[in-house]
Structure 1
Amino acid sequence: MSMHPLLVELGTEELPVKALPGLAQALFDGVIAGLEKRGIAVERGDAKPLSTPRRLAVLLPGVAAEQPEQRSEVLGPYLNIALDADGQPTKALAGFAAKAGIDWTALERTSDAKGERFVHRAVTAGAQTAALLPEILREAIAAMPIPKPMRWGDHDYGFARPVHWLVLLFGNAVVPVQLFGVQADRVSRGHRFLHDAPVALDQPGDYVAALEAAQVLVDPDARRARIVAEVEQAARQAGGSARISDDNLEQVVNLVEWPSAVLCHFEPAFLAVPQEALIETMESNQKFFPVLDDGGKLTEHFIGIANIVSRDVAEVAKGYERVIRPRFADAKFFFDEDLKQGLVAMGEGLASVTYQARLGSIADKVQRVAALAEAIAPLVGVDAAQARRAAELSKNDLQSRMVNEFPELQGIAGRHYAKAAGEPGEIALAIDEAYQPRFAGDDIALSPLGKVLAIAERLDTLAGGFAAGLKPTGNKDPFALRRNALGLARTVIESGFDVDVRGLLDQALDAVAFAKNRQKEKQAETAAATARASGADANAVPNVGGTTLAELHEIFDFILDRLRGYYADKGVPATHFNAVAALFSVAAEAAPTGSAAVSVGAA
């Protein structure tokens, strides 16, 4: 079988950073699926999606030159219908043979449960792959996930970004096709600034090396490796180590074609601002890499990634420093102003901020969490007064200027403001740790007080979410109840706490039911006043009952369900988990509220 390499390259304007990996993978998968659907053999080797901000490419080392023989089988009429009493063809058989293009005597016969019938079997030569590639490419592009296609010129077609060139090489031959108004060719393009000239390709195997010579690394893995190596080297030059988060690295990889690290610095005075705010600014807003000292503290150095190799690196560094300075100045202003106001004063406005329409304000939530924390604390050897104090301060930073600008710093900002206000270190730390785990794979809170607050916070969120009818459906989970359920269970289990989660849920649901009733009363008062003004029946006011046992069991089972994946990741067989979960479910039905028989921590 003759095999040839295949290259597809779509050259575009700068593609959306976060969408780029998905687009590249979709094109790669679509081309391979189109080939395989048509029976065309593909040798993938170590092939993978190739992409830069200005191109999407598929490079396959071996694709069959043609389809295999195409065998077809078309069933015809049964003999009792196909032949008359004299054994001559009826109109049914004659029509079938004419459609097949052969004499009826050349038809074969086959049998099934209903009897013997005529069949037309044919073998035809497979089509040439080159002739099928245009259709395959069109199908692959049509299946790509582009939620908002861009249109350009007066054309009626669209793509993620305008397409400027197209390469379609099969072996050393160009496959003729026109897409997006562009005719396929063997000419790619190099770096926009460093190699502004056409790059002619003799055959697909030249692609990666030819583009590298034109100062474009088409392999994202190659760009990633270069970025990491240069960033680490620059950080060592500054006497520290680089903070390279996966998310920041991936975005930078998809922003550049020819990465070059540039070491920069900022005024040490900005280090008075919580380093989390500075790091957030550098990573989220500017895609820079912070430099830390041996103790993990932020230094006055950071590293930017240029998309060019400049003859004047110092000037590039000055540009990056100019960009970061006003953002740091803003962060310092927010921090200083928040310190003047103080953490306690920030909480005064929480009563006017709605947490959820049926559950009251954030201040109402804080009081519910405080009561839960106070109840949990003595069960695990934590001071109840400290637990209440930490809970009462835990949401105050939501009113701060810092969190308003950097929402990711909620809890973190509160820790700094609590320290500045003279609160005990345990309380300050707990305000931050209450949010842990913040994401999948994150650590749970470390301090006992932080664990108590994290548990109380999630109990109230789960109880409130279910009571307010905000249960997750499909991929919709507005209150992140799945994440909160797993975070609650993980904190209890990994802390070794033997607490009655069902009993605590019951308490949380009672508090939420009270909050719902209070909100209903407020709404009823408003409705009654409106009714009186309109002359309607002012006594026709709806009411809401308290918590039900069904709600309690539903949330508890929801938590257990989140643990399935958790224990599966730890290698626990599903049969073992199901057996224990069944015991819990039986206990939940039979045991009285408060029974330790349904303690998640005991699992």
Structure 2
Amino acid sequence: MVRADMQPLLVELGTEELPVKALPALAQAFFDGVIDGLAQRGIAFDRDGAKPLYSPRRLAVLLPGVALEQPEQSSEVLGPYLNIALDADGQPTRALQGFAAKAGIDWTQLQRATDAKGERFVHRSVTPGARTAALLPEIVNAAVAGMPIPKPMRWGAHAHGFARPVHWLVLLLGKDVVDATVLGARSDRMSRGHRFMHDKPVWFSTPDDYVAFLRGAKVLVDPNERRARIVAEVEGAARAAGGTARIDAGILEEVNGLVEWPKAIACGFEREFLAVPQEALIATMEANQKFFPVLDADGKLSERFVGIANIESKDEAAVRTGYERVIRPRFADAKFFFVEDMKQGLASMNAGLATVKYQDKLGTVADKVARVAALAKSIAAQVGVDPVQAERAASLAKADLQSRLVNEFPELQGIAGRYYAAVENQPIDVAHAIDEAYMPRFAGDAIAPSKLGQVLAIAERLDTLAGGFAAGLKPTGNKDPFALRRNALGLARTLLEGKIDIAPQDAIDGALLRVQADMARLGTAKVDVSGDLSLENILLGKEILDFIKERLRAYYADRGVSPQQFDAVSSVEHDSLLDFDRRLQAIGEFAKLPEADALAAANKRIGNILKKVDGALPTAIDPRLFTETAERELHEAVDAAIADTDPLLAQRDYVAVLGRLARLRPQVDAFFDQVLVNADDAAVRNNRLALLKRLSDRLGGVAAIEHLSM
């Protein structure tokens, strides 16, 4: 809430056009810097929904209320204790006189305070707070200095640098201009409007005028307002053209940083270009020209697109012609590449992969394709997919790397292959799988939708991981040249979300075996082996599986799985990642039960007891050695629980297993309340240890539940 002693604050830094992609971060950093500067100096302010304001030519901070001065500044400086400060006659020693002189007062004006060590002299003072106007120049300059500018520019004869040359500074506190100089610009109340549509200065009486007056000068300084106008303009133009706009969030943000007064221009191109893969045309429109494609009723690309101008032109047709002219050569190139690639054919492209190096130790791309095809064939047989079709699709999946279209548009890798396979009348499933092999392409992307595509995606990532680790390319710190982290997560997601129930360790070892054979053939293997997996690669396979599971930690954390639950499941053997997922779901349900904490603590206690046993743990249980009712009842309860949960474990119904084991709590509690495990009689002691081991084995049959105990 704005107090009576507050006034609105406006800081605007006017520049040449700022770098588009850096603009939001620069604006946020400037805003945060001013806010932090006020807070550090104890100056009260009210944000009341304030946010960074910016356009291509300005960065601004607008706060509805800022106190006009700091609060009073109190200080307390501790001086010497009395036994040091005063001599035997009660007169000041040199230590006290020095302390008083430093404070600038006579020693008799000092106050006294008492702490645990005794009484001492102190100097307390209160000074008026500084005026905010006097502190603002320092605050604004510090905010500018703290902005993330990797390559500052220099202009004129100035020694300072910034992202772009600075031309003006507005600094208003209430109705008053605060005298300041920032990057060579002297403060004023004069801003500038649109470069072309408003060539007069914009004069502000108070900060409250800022947004509205600039709007009148054809500048939308609020990025949210500007973004909303862009969307409305684009959608309106697309509707008028009979379609719907494709508005990519990243492109929208870039366009938002390019314009101050957005105006949609409806454009078009020749229908003949629609014969080119639409992804190539869309990539050109979005990435190269920041245009918005228009889709037809079926979601296909139409011959319409929308450009956003930074001006309301008197000759809109000329702007349209310019937009259409700039895009036509790129479309013509894409069409040429596509036609020439179709003449070449996938088989010819594939043959060319033998001349393309994949990695020094791992051979050519053709070598990789052969390994992936063999893996895909093996995996397909395990999951009910036609192995011949899987091998065929995998053998063609990288052919388009030799295409002209992918050379020009690398982001079309796989997509181009799908088009070429369809033109050659390859089975439609094979064509789609060539594209889907690359899914998920980025964080948040979906996995391959078809089972055949999932098989190819798994095989591709298995080979990449096996080859990367075998060639010594494991990620270190932020370095991950083969994107092994991304591939590991993509592999895990495909197995989990595709519900593919294969043993990951076996699949990894199969991939390593093929990599090992190729490295031996190429002479790049450390050990020349054939047939079985080397001991080194067996250990490497386990490392790869741990690497994959570690990528899942963040994946499950985003889904509400606690680190304790994840560790509980990671600590036990599981058949597959799908089995791992089922156990995680079960441990999550178990953790909600009232018995969970007690049983987790009990299993942790059992583990500690069993760790202290020298030699092999006893396993034989003799009911005749039971001397206490509680141990007899626990034995009977464990027998019953094991009988009940054996079929449930076989069915992987882990929720039911843990639910049944939760019913053991009364017997477990009674046992630890009434039974001394380490009895003097060795036979009785071993019998009780064997009972606890049997209980612990079953309690840990789904997950190491002791991890849930804090």
Q: TM-score, normalised by structure 1?
A: 0.92
Question: In structure 1, what is the Cα distance between the partners aligned to 2:208 and 2:477?
Answer: 45
Maintained 8 Å contact 2:496/2:578: no
Question: In structure 2, what is the Cα distance between the partners aligned to 1:520 and 1:184?
Answer: 70
Matched, 1:559 2:548: yes
Aligned AA (2:272)? A
Maintained 8 Å contact 1:500/1:598: no
Matched, 1:256 2:245: no
- Pairwise mapping of residues 174-193 of structure 1 onto structure 2 (< 5 A)? 174-193=177-196
Matched, 1:582 2:571: yes
The corresponding residue for 1:571 is: 560
Deviation at 1:546, TM superposition (A): 6.0
The corresponding residue for 2:354 is: 351
- Pairwise mapping of residues 275-424 of structure 1 onto structure 2 (< 5 A)? 275-424=278-427
Q: Secondary structure at the match of 1:583?
A: coil
Aligned AA (2:199)? D
- Pairwise mapping of residues 372-521 of structure 1 onto structure 2 (< 5 A)? 372-521=375-524
Deviation at 1:30, TM superposition (A): 0.4
Question: In structure 1, what is the Cα distance between the partners aligned to 2:353 and 2:230?
Answer: 44
The corresponding residue for 2:598 is: none
Q: Which moved more, 1:229-238 or 1:558-567?
A: 558-567
The corresponding residue for 1:90 is: 93
Deviation at 1:343, TM superposition (A): 1.3
User: Which blocks of at least 5 consecutive residues in structure 2 are unaligned?
Assistant: 528-532, 584-710
Maintained 8 Å contact 2:437/2:453: yes
Q: Secondary structure at the match of 1:579?
A: helix
Q: Which moved more, 1:264-273 or 1:306-315?
A: 306-315
| CA-to-aligned-CA distance 1:545-598 (integer Å, 9 cap, x gap) | 7644442232222222222222222233443323222224xx6xxxxxxx6599
The corresponding residue for 1:210 is: 213
Cα distance change, pair 545–195 in 1 and its aligned pair in 2 (3 A): same
| CA-to-aligned-CA distance 1:69-127 (integer Å, 9 cap, x gap) | 11112222233332223232221221111111112222233344444332222111111
Question: In structure 1, what is the Cα distance between the partners aligned to 2:353 and 2:285?
Answer: 30
Matched, 1:43 2:46: yes
Aligned AA (2:471)? A
Aligned AA (1:110)? A
Question: In structure 2, what is the Cα distance between the partners aligned to 1:570 and 1:78?
Answer: 60
Question: In structure 1, what is the Cα distance between the partners aligned to 2:12 and 2:33?
Answer: 14
Q: Secondary structure at the match of 1:504?
A: helix
Cα distance change, pair 63–135 in 1 and its aligned pair in 2 (3 A): same
The corresponding residue for 1:109 is: 112
Deviation at 1:301, TM superposition (A): 0.3
Maintained 8 Å contact 1:459/1:504: yes
Q: Secondary structure at the match of 2:444?
A: coil
Q: Secondary structure at the match of 2:377?
A: helix
Aligned AA (2:436)? E
Question: In structure 2, what is the Cα distance between the partners aligned to 1:73 and 1:561?
Answer: 52
Question: In structure 2, what is the Cα distance between the partners aligned to 1:3 and 1:598?
Answer: 60
Cα distance change, pair 519–144 in 1 and its aligned pair in 2 (3 A): farther
Aligned AA (1:365)? K
Question: In structure 1, what is the Cα distance between the partners aligned to 2:517 and 2:46?
Answer: 65
The corresponding residue for 1:3 is: 6
Maintained 8 Å contact 1:445/1:451: yes
Question: In structure 2, what is the Cα distance between the partners aligned to 1:408 and 1:471?
Answer: 25
Deviation at 1:403, TM superposition (A): 0.8
Maintained 8 Å contact 1:489/1:600: no
Q: Secondary structure at the match of 1:67?
A: coil
Question: In structure 1, what is the Cα distance between the partners aligned to 2:156 and 2:483?
Answer: 43
Maintained 8 Å contact 1:500/1:599: no
Q: Secondary structure at the match of 1:235?
A: helix
Cα distance change, pair 597–195 in 1 and its aligned pair in 2 (3 A): closer
Matched, 1:146 2:135: no
Question: In structure 1, what is the Cα distance between the partners aligned to 2:518 and 2:39?
Answer: 59
Deviation at 1:314, TM superposition (A): 1.8
Deviation at 1:510, TM superposition (A): 2.6
Q: Secondary structure at the match of 2:571?
A: helix
Maintained 8 Å contact 1:78/1:118: yes
Question: In structure 1, what is the Cα distance between the partners aligned to 2:195 and 2:558?
Answer: 46
Question: In structure 2, what is the Cα distance between the partners aligned to 1:63 and 1:389?
Answer: 69
The corresponding residue for 2:270 is: 267
Question: In structure 2, what is the Cα distance between the partners aligned to 1:127 and 1:429?
Answer: 69
Deviation at 1:45, TM superposition (A): 0.6
Question: In structure 1, what is the Cα distance between the partners aligned to 2:344 and 2:355?
Answer: 18
Maintained 8 Å contact 1:415/1:431: yes
Maintained 8 Å contact 1:497/1:602: no
Maintained 8 Å contact 2:495/2:577: no
RMSD: 2.0
Matched, 1:134 2:123: no
Question: In structure 2, what is the Cα distance between the partners aligned to 1:561 and 1:521?
Answer: 29
Q: Secondary structure at the match of 1:71?
A: strand
Question: In structure 2, what is the Cα distance between the partners aligned to 1:601 and 1:411?
Answer: 30
Aligned AA (2:89)? D
Matched, 1:196 2:185: no
Question: In structure 1, what is the Cα distance between the partners aligned to 2:473 and 2:35?
Answer: 42
Question: In structure 1, what is the Cα distance between the partners aligned to 2:448 and 2:426?
Answer: 19
Maintained 8 Å contact 1:497/1:601: no
Maintained 8 Å contact 1:502/1:599: no
Cα distance change, pair 69–467 in 1 and its aligned pair in 2 (3 A): farther
Larger RCO, structures 1/2 (Cα 8 Å, 6+ apart):
1
* Larger gyration radius, structure 1 or structure 2: 2
Maintained 8 Å contact 2:140/2:182: no
Deviation at 1:393, TM superposition (A): 1.0
Maintained 8 Å contact 2:492/2:577: no
Q: Secondary structure at the match of 1:496?
A: coil
Aligned AA (1:166)? L
Question: In structure 2, what is the Cα distance between the partners aligned to 1:8 and 1:547?
Answer: 63
Among 13, 16, 23, the alignment partner of 2:16 is 13
Aligned AA (2:137)? P
Cα distance change, pair 265–597 in 1 and its aligned pair in 2 (3 A): closer
Number of equivalent positions:
576
Q: TM-score, normalised by structure 2?
A: 0.78
Maintained 8 Å contact 1:513/1:547: no
| CA-to-aligned-CA distance 1:233-284 (integer Å, 9 cap, x gap) | 1111111100001011111111100000011000000000000000000000
The corresponding residue for 1:530 is: none
Maintained 8 Å contact 1:42/1:63: yes
Deviation at 1:68, TM superposition (A): 0.9
Deviation at 1:505, TM superposition (A): 1.1
Cα distance change, pair 219–86 in 1 and its aligned pair in 2 (3 A): same
Question: In structure 2, what is the Cα distance between the partners aligned to 1:469 and 1:94?
Answer: 71
Cα distance change, pair 601–104 in 1 and its aligned pair in 2 (3 A): closer
Question: In structure 2, what is the Cα distance between the partners aligned to 1:557 and 1:78?
Answer: 62
